[in-house]
Structure 1
């Protein structure tokens, strides 16, 4: 079925993001836009029409990851189930085997391209924290949890979930064998108890 004039082919956008993710993980910021287009199987014009710069690609990748991780916060479910889901996705996307290269790639590009690193942080990890903080503030308003400082609590929860997982990923150090579901459940249980209403 032919596309309507002006309609964006989402498959090409996905191909660009997948290619950029793989190349950034392998080569860091030194990868060219031309290499991204070639790997994605799209023309340079198509690439530049969707993403005028590597900064835009980095933002899109980080935003996509943040949306995935924070999806449980939009589910409207039971607070413990929501936090457990968030924790599980955080472990999968940040400390999982497929994320090590991308985390290392971002770390490598930080000194060379601090604007890209900052944009990736703001669109990804910082946005996930903001969403979690807003969700925790809502749970406080509803009386489900007692969270007087949701920004602090959001960082605390993320830190409890990840431990040193993200650092091991950046450094390429093997992760100890853990059961992600069990880890997510344990951290959530302890967090819920710590912030239970009095």
Structure 2
């Protein structure tokens, strides 16, 4: 007779976490999820690499799925934290602002965000909460920050933007073409010269469409 699977222990409450130990677990988990995906990643292997017991992983994150969601949240924050917020950008100089946003977003699309995207794509449908959290804290937040800036630039008369959310989406989407896909597939990424050319052209096209 088949035995019922034993549920993973719930995270313990009332005990302070060791930040350094949690960081080791998250970093080890990120590497394993990136390499093996959620289904094939081993909690035993993650614990061994982090230098902790399997029970320590479960006591901090509850389950492998809980650990995966924690990794997604951990990797999501840098995706937009480095993108200048609306309040930090000068609405009187939209070209400079777009160059600043585009430079950071392009770096993320070519580097920091790739591992998180691969992991999330690998569990699309199976982990809706993790996917929803990634979208809300990543793409949706970045798009919202840029849209808020575009509203200010429109009010200042330096841009003419009827639909700021749509315009922000169009601008950021220009950095998610073939170079980004190559990164997701772990192929050779565009070099710095190609990235600079894409950045300049994206800003030129946007200003041609929305410049006052």
Give TM-score, length-normalised by structure 1: 0.75
Q: How far apart, in 2, do the equivalents of 1:12 and 1:190 lie?
A: 47
Q: How far apart, in 2, do the equivalents of 1:39 and 1:131 lie?
A: 37
Which structure is higher in RCO with an 8 Å CA cutoff and minimum separation 6? 1
Equivalent pair of 1:99/1:169 in contact (CA under 8 Å): no
Residue-pair matches, total: 189
| Counterpart check, 1:21 vs 2:41 | no
User: What does 1:36-185 correspond to in 2, within 5 Å?
Assistant: 36-41=46-51, 43-44=56-57, 47-48=60-61, 53-68=67-82, 70-71=83-84, 73-77=86-90, 78-96=93-111, 99-177=113-191, 178-185=193-200
Gap change, CA 1:84 and 1:7, over 3 Å in 2: farther
The CA deviation at 1:93 is 1.3
Q: Can you give the 5+ residue segments of structure 2 that lack an aligned partner in the other structure? A: 1-14
Q: Select the structure of larger CA radius of gyration.
A: 2
Equivalent position of 1:3 in the other structure: none
Gap change, CA 1:32 and 1:160, over 3 Å in 2: same
Equivalent position of 2:4 in the other structure: none
Deviations 1:97-118 (A, max 9, x none): x654443222212143233222
Moved more, 119-128 or 167-176: 167-176
Q: How far apart, in 1, do the equivalents of 2:179 and 2:103 lie?
A: 13
Gap change, CA 1:179 and 1:112, over 3 Å in 2: same
Aligned to 2:30, what secondary structure does the other structure show? Answer: helix
Equivalent pair of 2:17/2:60 in contact (CA under 8 Å): no
Give TM-score, length-normalised by structure 2: 0.71
Q: Can you give the 5+ residue segments of structure 1 that lack an aligned partner in the other structure? A: 1-5
Deviations 1:52-76 (A, max 9, x none): 64323312321231212x2364533
Aligned to 1:162, what secondary structure does the other structure show? Answer: coil
Aligned to 1:60, what secondary structure does the other structure show? Answer: helix
Q: How far apart, in 1, do the equivalents of 2:121 and 2:153 lie?
A: 34
